[in-house]
Chains A and B, each alone.
Chain A
Amino acid sequence: MAEAAAEQPAFTISGLQKSFGANWVLRGIDLAIPARAVTVLMGANGAGKSTLVKIAAGLHGPDAGEMRLAGQPYRPGSPAEAIEAGIVVVHQAINDGVAPDLDVASNLMLDRLAGGQEPILFNPRRIRRKAKAIADLMGLEMDLSAPVRRLSLADRQMVAIARAMARDPKLLILDEPTSSLSDTEARRLFALVDRLRAQGVAVLYISHRMSDIRRIADRIITLRDGRITGMFRDRPLDYEGAVNAMLGHGLTDVDIQSPPPGDPVLQVADLQLVPGARPFSLTLRRNEVTALTGLVGTGKTAFAEVLFGLRRPHAGSLLLDGRPYAPATPGAAIEAGVFLSAKDRASNAVVPQYDLMRNLTLPFLPRFSSAGVVRRGRERNVAQDQIAALNIVCQSERDGILTLSGGNQQKVMVARWLSQPSRLLILDEPFQGVDIGARRDLGAKLRETASDHATLVLCAELDEALEVADRILVMAEHSLAGDHPNREVDLDLILSQVAGGAPLAVPGWAVPA
């Protein structure tokens, strides 16, 4: 393949490694990002995308490896240096990029105001004039004197991008830019990206939204467990192959012996999670571990939230053990025997000030109390039982929760819900941020206890679903896209269901050059 000079990569990374403590996040990354093209980086949660971006943006230093920008060695010590060198990142949280109470003009000039390129005395007219130049460059048509908080999310993002582009960057990194945009807003963003590409900018676009990717990608790189697992650049792009490479199914040799499923526990009838979604029905049974898989943002967590009393469904009904079930609060759900081990344990589950035991018993304190007074002896017994049952590595039940490793913290969070009998046990991403040993232990425990209740495991990674479940459900676009027993699974079919229906690319979207 004859690579012309213009094809020389704008940005290359070789042998990049990064660990946080004992946790290796990037295990040797090699990639090249060409100019005048949109390279999509796909990866599930925890694959290492954010870390990669943060290293490129100068927020973290790599442990090993090197980066080159336009052929020159590149090793930023701070975000300011990264911007100076020509790498600009638009972060996922749109509001991190703008100061909402300042007007658009000040926001467009924010980096210069902060960086000292502007005189000390603030001259509004001068700022407005310079901001106008930036806005014109990007074709922004909003009122420059309006405070940013009055803008839509998309407009705020346009402001952040426009400010970035005023730097004339060599590489623009967009980190899940559409995650909080509406469809129309997203289209405006895509049009902008098209224009930047035409101007010769190298764009690294991070996303796992298939519709975005089909619309915008020139090439796709997949990241999984800190390694590059796939590189797709031949047209037409192999989207299913990319999803496969991102989620992976190393087909870990776990022999699932499915016992006969028991009586129905939860019956879902014509449930509509959000307005406009296709209604779905399903039954979860005792003695059956069901995995619910699908990409991020397809409604898995929304479904769990409905079952746990955190969200009202748009339409449809639920039966628990044959009786109507509509919990108003998590407390009511727990009372009814529906338990949820939430995803992202650091923000949703762990009480950092508490020791292992107190974390474990938190939801069930009434059961450990007489007349409101907590009986610590009873508490300790249960904690010790669970430590033994789940093989939690600790010195005692009084260890501070944060002194445990991630895997052991997660075991405590799951043990919390296994310590009391339930009807339906839901686990949202129980294997997230967990090493493979703890993942095996947890999976084995879930299967072992499955006879007592119905088990629903939410996981984006197909591997995990195949490893733990008797039955695999696929969710796409807030509805059920597939239902497979975990025997001689047709992986291609699952993957195409995960990747979801028709491409969003509607003909007739005029792309301004």
Chain B
Amino acid sequence: MGGAGMSGPVAPPPAGEDRGRVGGSSSRGDTATRLAIRYGFLVLLAGLVVFFMAAAEGFTSVFSAVFIFQSVAITAILALGVTATLVVGGFDLSIGAVATSSMMASAYAMVVWNLGAVEAVLVCLLLGLVVGLINGMLVVYTRIPDLLATLGMMFVLIGLQRIPTEGRSIAAGMTLPDGSTAEGTFSAAFMAIGRHRFDLVEKNVLPVSVLFMLAMGFLIWFFLEYTRYGRVMYAIGSNERAAALAGAPVRRYKIAAYMISGVFASVGGILLAARLGRGDIASGNNLLLDSVAAALIGFAVLGAAKPNAFGTAIGALFVGVLLQGLTMLNVPYYTQDFVKGAVLVLALIFTFTLSHRQDR
């Protein structure tokens, strides 16, 4: 046996020669790509800010910054929730519907049932928790693929939120289906969640919703990065079987992820209701797509190539900056979705094409 007459490579090396590491001698080109993948999106965000500062008058003002934060707050909270499901390798399409249902529920609780702010908030949180639980059980026990199960839930909720009022929006003094007039009102405390602004440097700058966003962002970031629960959730998303064989109760973790997603979405709904001051059936249509886009853009931040809370927050901010800047430049509103879509596709190229090429 042997290599006589062969044009191929030299004879195989003896077994046992084990180079400790495989892959990568890094050339200068590799380093450049790596830097681009890692910091590309942050640089792009900074560049965008600089551009708008130069081009759009008033973009630099404190109020402009606050407005951006406020406009992304609800989207960001939903996106942070869906990040939890993405981490375990799932997906939650029902978040937009959970948020609008929660908005309607809070309005119904206060206007029709005459409940106070605390009770209304509790009703919403419970709604989010229960929907998340059902989503999780559908995915885990009935084995309906996550996209389909949560799509079904989305439809159910969109329909359900309109049934009690026969399809009408909820506002104080509305006429109920039985002909009577609703006696309750939005409590002042509840409205404050959406409208109050704290003083910071100047008077009335910092909206409560932004504080909520920052707090929840920190919470989920800390949970995913620093607790063992977060660690196990990432392991499940990366290799479910390995996590199970390491003793993790995979099903419970998955259900918990959907419950996190549901609760975050219901908080988003509470903020929406408090800002609008009514249960408006026409609002919140864009929430699902915007927040999913933010979470997916987040994959590209710092070259993570995986769902992560920090990236999600940056992703939401990115979209907010872009839209606010374009608005100030008088770019027509109907181009917004196009711009968001283009950014998302760019981010996905960063994540899936560039960083995977680098892995090789």
Contact = CB atoms under 8 A, between A and B. Distances in A.
Report if A and B associate in a common complex: yes
Interface of A: 15, 17, 19, 21-22, 24, 27-28, 30, 62-65, 225-227, 308, 310, 329-331, 333-335, 340, 342, 347-354, 358, 362-363, 365-366, 368-369, 372-374, 393-395, 402-405, 407-408, 416, 435-438
Given A24-B12, A351-B235, A351-B243, A394 B20 contact: yes
Given A64-B3, A403-B22, A374 B226 contact: yes
Interface string B327-360: 0000000000000000000000000000000010
15 contacts: A22-B22, A28-B1, A65-B8, A225-B15, A329-B249, A330-B247, A342-B245, A347-B239, A348-B245, A351-B234, A373-B227, A393-B20, A407-B18, A408-B18, A437-B17
A372 B229 contact: yes
Contacts of B8: 17, 62-65
Given A65-B8, A436-B15, A372 B228 contact: yes
Contacts of A402: 359
B22 A21 contact: yes
A403 B249 contact: no
Nearest to B305: A353
A219 to B, nearest CB: 20
Nearest to B245: A342
Contacts of B238: 351-354
Given A351-B238, A353-B306, A64 B227 contact: no
Given A225-B15, A403-B21, 9 more contacts: A21-B22, A62-B8, A65-B8, A335-B247, A347-B239, A362-B231, A405-B18, A407-B18, A437-B16
Contacts of B245: 308, 310, 330, 340, 342, 348-349
Interface SS of A by simple majority: mixed
Contacts of B241: 347-348
B13 interface: yes
A435 B18 contact: yes
Interface string B130-167: 00000000000000000000000000000000000000
Nearest to B19: A22
B263 interface: no
Nearest to B225: A374
B177 interface: no
B7 interface: yes
A67 to B, nearest CB: 13
A312 to B, nearest CB: 16
Given A353-B234, A394-B20, A438-B18, A372 B2 contact: no
Interface of B is mostly: loop
Given A63-B9, A348-B241, A334 B247 contact: yes
Contact of B6 (A27, A64, A369, A438): A64
B1 A30 contact: yes
Nearest to A331: B247
Contacts of A19: 12
B21 A350 contact: no
Contacts of A405: 18-22
Contacts of A362: 231-232, 235, 242-243, 246, 248
Nearest to A358: B231
B244 interface: yes
B23 interface: yes
Contact of B244 (A225, A330, A365): A330
A418 to B, nearest CB: 14
Contacts of A438: 18
Contacts of A368: 228
Contact of A354 (B1, B21, B235): B235
A319 B11 CA distance: 52
B239 A350 contact: yes
A179 to B, nearest CB: 20
Contacts of A366: 228
Contacts of A24: 12-13, 15
Interface in B8-54: 8-9, 11-13, 15-24
Contacts of A62: 8
Given A351-B238, A394-B21, A435-B16, A369 B228 contact: yes
B351 to A, nearest CB: 13
A437 B242 contact: no
Contacts of A349: 239, 242, 245-246
A370 to B, nearest CB: 10
A22 B237 CA distance: 30
A225 B7 CA distance: 23
A394 B3 CA distance: 34
Query: What are the 10 A-B residue pairs with the smallest beta carbon separation, nearest first?
Result: A64-B8, A393-B20, A365-B228, A436-B16, A363-B246, A24-B12, A331-B247, A353-B238, A334-B247, A435-B18
Nearest to B235: A351
Nearest to B12: A24
A329 B19 CA distance: 38
A340 B242 CA distance: 11
Contacts of A342: 242, 245
Contacts of A373: 226-228
Contacts of A351: 234-235, 238-239, 242-243
Nearest to A434: B18
B349 to A, nearest CB: 20
B228 A64 contact: no
A424 B23 CA distance: 36
Contacts of A350: 239, 242
A442 to B, nearest CB: 12
A350 B359 CA distance: 17
B16 A331 contact: no
Given A65-B8, A362-B235, A394-B20, A28 B2 contact: yes
Contacts of A358: 231, 235
Contacts of A333: 247
- Which one of B3, B228, B241, B243 has the greatest number of beta carbons of chain A within 10 Å? B228
Contact of B9 (A64, A348, A354, A365): A64
Contact of B227 (A65, A227, A372, A394): A372
A402 B21 CA distance: 9
A335 B249 CA distance: 13
Nearest to B226: A373
A331 B234 CA distance: 18
Interface in B291-311: 306
A342 B247 CA distance: 12
A363 B227 contact: no
Nearest to B248: A331
Contacts of A334: 246-247
Contacts of A408: 18, 20
B194 to A, nearest CB: 32
A348 B245 CA distance: 7
A72 B137 CA distance: 59
A369 B4 CA distance: 60
A435 B239 CA distance: 24
Contact of A393 (B4, B21, B23): B21
Contact of A374 (B2, B20, B231): B231
B144 to A, nearest CB: 18
Nearest to A413: B242
Contacts of B246: 330, 334, 349, 362-363, 416
Nearest to B228: A365
A498 B8 CA distance: 38
Nearest to A402: B359
Contacts of B234: 351, 353-354
